[in-house]
Amino acid sequence: MNRNYSDGEFAVEVSKLTRDFGHFRAVDAVSFSVEKGEIFGFLGANGAGKTTTVRMLCGLLMPSSGTAAVGGFDVYTQVEQIKNSIGYMSQSFSLYEDLTVRENIQFYGGVYGLKRKEIRRKTEELLDYLNLWDHADQLTRDLPLGWKQRMALSTAILHDPNIIFLDEPTSGVDPASRRDFWLLIYELAERGKTVFVTTHYMDEAEYCDRVSIMKQGKIVEIDKPEVLKEKYGSESMQQVFINVVSEVIGE
């Protein structure tokens, strides 16, 4: 999928970003940039450091060292501005199970400081956009996981952010639901949103404009999927990932 990016303008800029937990280095001096309007895939096995990196970029975890800016805001000194300007969907389902879909959307509209009239309008827009009308008044706990993920996405984009972080958004859902979710991601990108998505499903890398591959806290490869497949003589990103990890281990 080809889009025109603004030259020299980045949604996310990271340089030597590092995070230590005691003597354990979870993220090891990673550097990369994400262009505006790009679907950027952050790939790696569980424990590679993806979620820790995302939490630092979302202002939820302070880096140990290095620099990073999200939407032009500094991760050290402008955390509140970052939180107010991004959408974030966490790895674990974090909405209220005892509220309906509609009530959850309305609650988060209040959290974002939207006015009542705007909350009503946004609720209707999101129920329509995500095809959730049939489930609008259903308790969240009774929804299938795939629909819960749609609902979590709705709260992440409720305030119309330009940058959206999705941390393992399709983990545990069936293949059909994963495909439908990625169609929503494409639609967001077509509307000019920057989508930063972490995943350990290598087939999802095929849907991204560019991907990075993390291994033990480091970025060991970054480029367009088609470039990486050609570089490693592979037909799929799954094969690329295996080759990259094997090459790193063999160093």
Strand order in the sheet with 73-74: 24-35, 10-21, 65-70, 73-74
d(CA 206, CA 204): 5
Q: Are 208 and 225 spatial neighbours (Cβ–Cβ below 8 Å)?
A: yes
In CATH terms, 10-249 corresponds, of 3.30.390.50, 3.10.20.440, 3.30.300.10, 3.40.50.300, to: 3.40.50.300
The Cα–Cα gap between 196 and 43 comes to 11
First to last CA, the chain: 34
Per-residue pLDDT, 129:
81
φ, ψ at 19 (rounded to 5°): -140, 125
Residue 86's closest CA among 12, 32, 147? 12
Residue extents of the structural domains in the chain: 10-249
In the beta sheet, which residues pair with residue 146?
none
Q: What pLDDT, on a 0 to 100 scale, did the predictor assign at position 174?
A: 84
- The answer to whether the CB of 125 falls within 8 A of the CB of 106 is no
pLDDT at position 116, please?
Answer: 92
Sign of the torsion formed by the C-alpha atoms of 130, 132, 133 and 137:
negative
pLDDT in tens, the chain (251 residues): 433 333 447 999 999 999 999 999 999 999 999 999 999 999 988 889 999 999 999 999 999 999 999 999 999 999 999 998 999 998 776 789 999 999 999 998 888 888 999 999 999 988 888 788 998 999 999 988 888 888 888 888 989 999 999 998 888 888 888 888 899 999 999 999 999 999 888 889 999 999 999 999 999 999 999 999 999 999 999 999 999 988 765 44
Cβ-contact 33, 209 below 8 angstroms? no
What is the predicted pLDDT for the residue at 132?
86
pLDDT at site 7: 42
Q: For residue 175, with 0-12 CB atoms within 10 Å meaning exposed, 13-18 middle and 19 or more buried, which class applies?
A: exposed
